[in-house]
Amino acid sequence: MQFNVRNVFCACLALGLANASPLQKRNGTCQKTKVAILGAGTAGITAAQALSNASVTDFLIVEYNSVIGGRVAHTAFGAKNQSYTVELGANWVQGTFTPGGPVNPIWILAELSNLTNTYSNYSSIETFNQNGAVDFTDLIDDYEGDPYSTVEQDAGYILSDNLQDRSFRSGLSLAGWKPGNDMEAQAVEWWEFDWEYGQSPELSSQEFAIVNYNTTFYQYSDANNYVFDSRGFNAFIRGEASTFLTANDPRLLLNTIVTNVSYSDKGVTVYNKDGSCVEADYAICTFSLGVLQNDAVTFSPAFPSWKQMGIETFSMATYTKIFLQFPPDEVFWNTSYQFFLYADPNERGYYPVWQSLDSPGFLPGSGIIFVTVVQDQSYVVENQDDATTKAQVLDVLRDMFGAENVPEPIAFMYPRWSLEPWAYGSYSNWPPGTSLEMHENLRANIGRLYFAGEATSTEYYGFLHGAWFEGQAVGTEIADCLKGNCTGEVHYNVLHGTTPPREYDIENGWDVTSFQTNGF
């Protein structure tokens, strides 16, 4: 049976906010508001909070789903009387804090919400191929040594000297990392790169993958904390919403599907599937890059070429977690490990990274293990039925642990992010050879229609805190506009192969030097 994320959100918004009703069209006219916020994920709720903090309370939040949270989504999983909460989308606080230094805002909110989480120990790993357990962890050390250091240093030169960007694959090859047909080395590369960015090194920028990594893990910390709270990771979003939305707040329009957004220099009108509409002085579009790329919503007039090119140039990655539950007394893996890495003999990225939730500090006794696939493999599994996928993953487990040791699971489930009409993927990625100017075109407003989300973050694209920063920034910017201090955002009608960092720094207030001091 095809799994639909929208149908399995199980948490209701604090203070009864999940009971808010969709807007109804009254007397053939649209309800008017100062700001329409399209989407109630991290960016949308943060934008609304920024408006509220600036004493702008006349806004409406229009949300496709029945609860807030967006791609921070969870469900109950497991056999009868053995059910646990698992995260379908965002799962980690990535980069927590530096003692005495910067703190990731998502870590602050996770602490405020008292979210249950555990440090992911990436050294707690056992490696396998088709013949069972085989130790190739030395290849992890090989990748993390001179090759990665060289790629990192070269990315710094590309940025500071205004050189042409290249693919991460090119950077690795120039640094001497060439896995070729060594499938164990390919598995290690997938573990080190694809598992983070959702796409392969060939499809990813060397320059901005390093910027993206360093601004999070060098600035905050190299820690990744896995969230497994029974309330769901999005409890922090619901908690923040409850600080400015009341129970059954009429400003929160759940179960409301936007079909068209008409914009101009004077205002924005939002038309919904149920026949309702909203007229706003300004609007903040927090739709995922995937939604924008798939034309799930029409815009009137059509976007100018510079904007459409910005949307189509960047990538939407898909990250699919496949969950299995086995009888707790028949757990066959070594639960002292957190991770298991599988090198398939024929296909790179074929059910490679497994994670045990039946391990100390997580959900001992749950019998749950899950495997992650991304991009092309995600498209395959998300377009085939559960039975086919289950047979494939069991074949891999039986190669890893022995056919005689692996029973049939008592529960099986996975989301299909690439097919969700309000997501069309998991998070964005920055392709090679794409300039800062092009990204600014993705981010820039058109008239009174503004954009926010993880994809519009230069430094933190793909990260949850990227969505948080962007929502806050655009909410604050529109609050200033409403007070008569509106400057708009920069875009470029003519694009160059590279963007001089100093020029970009001056025009956009983007501190390039901070990247050069964060590990370059």
**Annotated binding-site residue numbers:** 258
Residue written as token pair 């579009």: 285
- Nearest 5°: phi and psi at 67? -140, 165
Radius of gyration of the chain, Cα coordinates, nearest whole angstrom: 23
* Local structure of 76: helix, strand or coil: strand
**CA-based torsion, 47, 52, 56, 57: positive or negative:** positive
Cis amide prior to 301 (ω within 30 degrees): yes
How many residues does the structure list for the chain? 520
374 closest CA partner among 133, 179, 214, 191: 191
Distance separating alpha carbons of residues 439 and 430, to the nearest angstrom: 9
Distance separating alpha carbons of residues 352 and 332, to the nearest angstrom: 18
Q: Please state, as a whole number, how many other Cβ atoms lie within 10 Å of the Cβ of residue 178.
A: 12
* Local structure of 140: helix, strand or coil: helix
Residue ranges for the known binding site for FAD are 258
The CA–CA distances, whole Å, from 444 to 33, 301, 437, 472, 490 equal 22, 16, 10, 15, 6
| β-strand partners of 279 | 32, 269
Distance separating alpha carbons of residues 343 and 332, to the nearest angstrom: 19
Distance separating alpha carbons of residues 502 and 490, to the nearest angstrom: 15
Q: Pairing mode, if any, of strands 117-119 and 125-129? A: unpaired
